[in-house]
Amino acid sequence: MKRLLLFMGCCSVSFLVFAGGDDDYAVSKIPANLIENANAVTRNEVRRFEINANNRATYSWKVAYTVLNEQGDPWGSFAAYYDKLSSIESFEGSLYDAAGKKIKSLKKGDIKDVNSSDENNFLDDNRVKWHSFFYKVYPYTVEYEVVTSYRGTMFLPRWIPQMKNVMSVQRSLLTVITPASGFCTQQLLSFNSP
């Protein structure tokens, strides 16, 4: 773990606040070069992985995707995986229209909780909580926020700012925080579009 953080480089950066509001997600605020040849745009993504001294961790992930057309619909859904070593502490979501106006908030009963593998596999403890607004008026924006607690810190979360070549990224940020007894207390990695 220490070698990974050394490789990433140590730095101290103040925590950035991620706030959405009416018209923050207006499609008109997306630079034209990010819309060209894209089905979806990652508007803003903030991931924070904090390792506690007792070998536990908390992972917060807040992301907003603007879905530009029907081919971008996979980004209109969101999934959070967990197992016997992790638990989902919170799962929230909102839907915004093309003007950036919030039109719906996620309700607890809207979240599906299913086995993450074959439904007939009773021995698998891996599960997924997922949601989709199933909205079909393009373009639209979804915003999701999930907090996961981990017992053990063997793996860091995956961070792939641009998941497919048919999507664009305005901003993606990963912060890793380790206990002060380590040689690096906070690491910030970010990806911003030019």
Instruction: Give domain status of residue 10, yes or no.
Output: no
* CA–CA–CA angle 179, 180, 183 (5° rounding): 100
pLDDT at position 160 = 82
Residues 144, 127: Cα–Cα separation, whole Å = 18
What pTM was estimated for this model as a whole? 0.80
Cβ proximity of 187 and 176 under 8 Å: yes
Instruction: Give domain status of residue 192, yes or no.
Output: no
pLDDT higher for 140 or 190? 140
Domain that holds residue 91: 22-156+164-171
Residue type (1 letter), 85: L
Instruction: Give domain status of residue 67, yes or no.
Output: yes
The CATH number linked to 150 is 2.60.40.3140
Average pLDDT, the chain: 82
Interval 109-122 mean pLDDT: 74
Instruction: Give domain status of residue 101, yes or no.
Output: yes
Cβ proximity of 9 and 187 under 8 Å: yes
Report whether the peptide linkage leading into residue 161 is cis, meaning its omega lies within 30 degrees of zero: no
Instruction: Give domain status of residue 177, yes or no.
Output: no
Instruction: Give domain status of residue 95, yes or no.
Output: yes
Instruction: Give domain status of residue 191, yes or no.
Output: no
Instruction: Give domain status of residue 32, yes or no.
Output: yes
Q: Domain tally for the chain?
A: 1
Interval 85-91 mean pLDDT: 94
Return the residue matching tokens 């906070």: 186
pLDDT tens by residue, 53-84? 788 999 999 999 999 999 999 999 999 999 98
pLDDT of 175 strictly over 50? yes
pLDDT tens by residue, 28-42? 999 999 999 999 999
Which residues of 68-126 form beta strands (DSSP E)?
77-82, 86-96, 102-105, 112-115
